[in-house]
Each structure stands twice: as C-alpha cells, then as structure tokens.
A and B are shown apart, each in its own frame.
Chain A
Amino acid sequence: DADVTQTPRNRITKTGKRIMLECSQTKGHDRMYWYRQDPGLGLRLIYYSFDVKDINKGEISDGYSVSRQAQAKFSLSLESAIPNQTALYFCATSESGWRETQYFGPGTRLLVL
C-alpha cells in the first residue's frame, strides 16, 4: 500500500550507534504502530500511538523510543543498537473507532553488526 512509506528500506549499522527509522502515511489515520518481525516469532508490537500526544509501549519496547512528530509521521529510534535488534521493522496505521484494519508499510530491514 503506497500510502504508508518507510525510510530507509535497508540499513546496516554498528553496535552502539543511534539509528532512526521513519514512517509516513497519507491515509489520514490517527493510529500508528511499530512492529518488528523475526523468523518464527511473528510480528511483535514495539510502540503505538493513537494521536500526536498519545504514545504507548508495546510488548517489546526496551531499547527503543519513538516520536510522533505529526499525525502523518511516526519515528522509531534505537538509542544504542545491538545485534539482537537485527530484524525487519514494519510501521502500520489504522483508523480510530470501530474500523480496526491495520495497513502496513513496506518494511525496513535492519542489520546491526
């Protein structure tokens, strides 16, 4: 779905470096999410935001932080990257209210050396 974009699409970084992953959406959705995907573990929620002033921790927030700069932008930061944060990261969006379908971005593949 081209309405949810992520940058960068691929990134290689070194242990201890700070890195930011960005997500933008043109769907007009209030809610945004960050997930990581690891083989055999499915999709796990890192952080989610229901509006610009609302940030919530998900299942695996340790080692990550987020910023909701605007309704359309939600960034994920790794303050000091470590190798076990190597994963595929997805941003997703959804409308508020009864319609709960989440729309995913194309993903960012991150390798921490």
Chain B
Amino acid sequence: GQSLEQPSEVTAVEGAIVQINCTYQTSGFYGLSWYQQHDGGAPTFLSYNALDGLEETGRFSSFLSRSDSYGYLLLQELQMKDSASYFCAVGRADKLIFGTGTRLQVFP
C-alpha cells in the first residue's frame, strides 16, 4: 500500500526553526511535494523535491532521501502567519497522494 506519515502537531515560537518530517511507504513515485493550508483555506504549493537533497525557497527548505523513504520541511525564522497545516505528498501516475498533515502552531 501507500502511506505517508507526519506528526499530527508541532508547536514553536516566533523566530525559531521547526522541522516537519514525512515518512512514506510507497515506491515508483516522481517526487515529494509540500503544501501549506491555513484554516478555512485551500492547500497551496510550497516546494517540490524531484531528486534527493535539499531544495531552498526563502525561509522554507525541503529535503528528500529516497533510500531512507524520508523527507522533511524546514521552516526558519518562524512567523505567526506560518501557523497552518502542512502536507507532504508523493506524485504517482499523474496524481498526488497526500500525507495526514501536520498542524503547526507558532506562538509569540
């Protein structure tokens, strides 16, 4: 089967760094994506890892290790507006399979 596991909730304070992990049990996928969803909003694309290694986009970085079936999203210099749910997703056969989501709460 295919499954992606994430921690259900993570808390941190403004200015801190937080890492959201994603472990998966699937094969033959194209890459690992991350999406952000604020309460009441729609998922929005954050980053994509086609290859192993680190991808950096501003304050956000994403990492993939296919050999370890593992990836993570790293958020630096946390801001209150980063409070949201974060989903990892693997691409397979033209579709995305989403993880369970991690709710990040940033405190002042």
Chains A and B come from one and the same complex: no
Chain A residues with a Cβ under 8 A of chain B: none
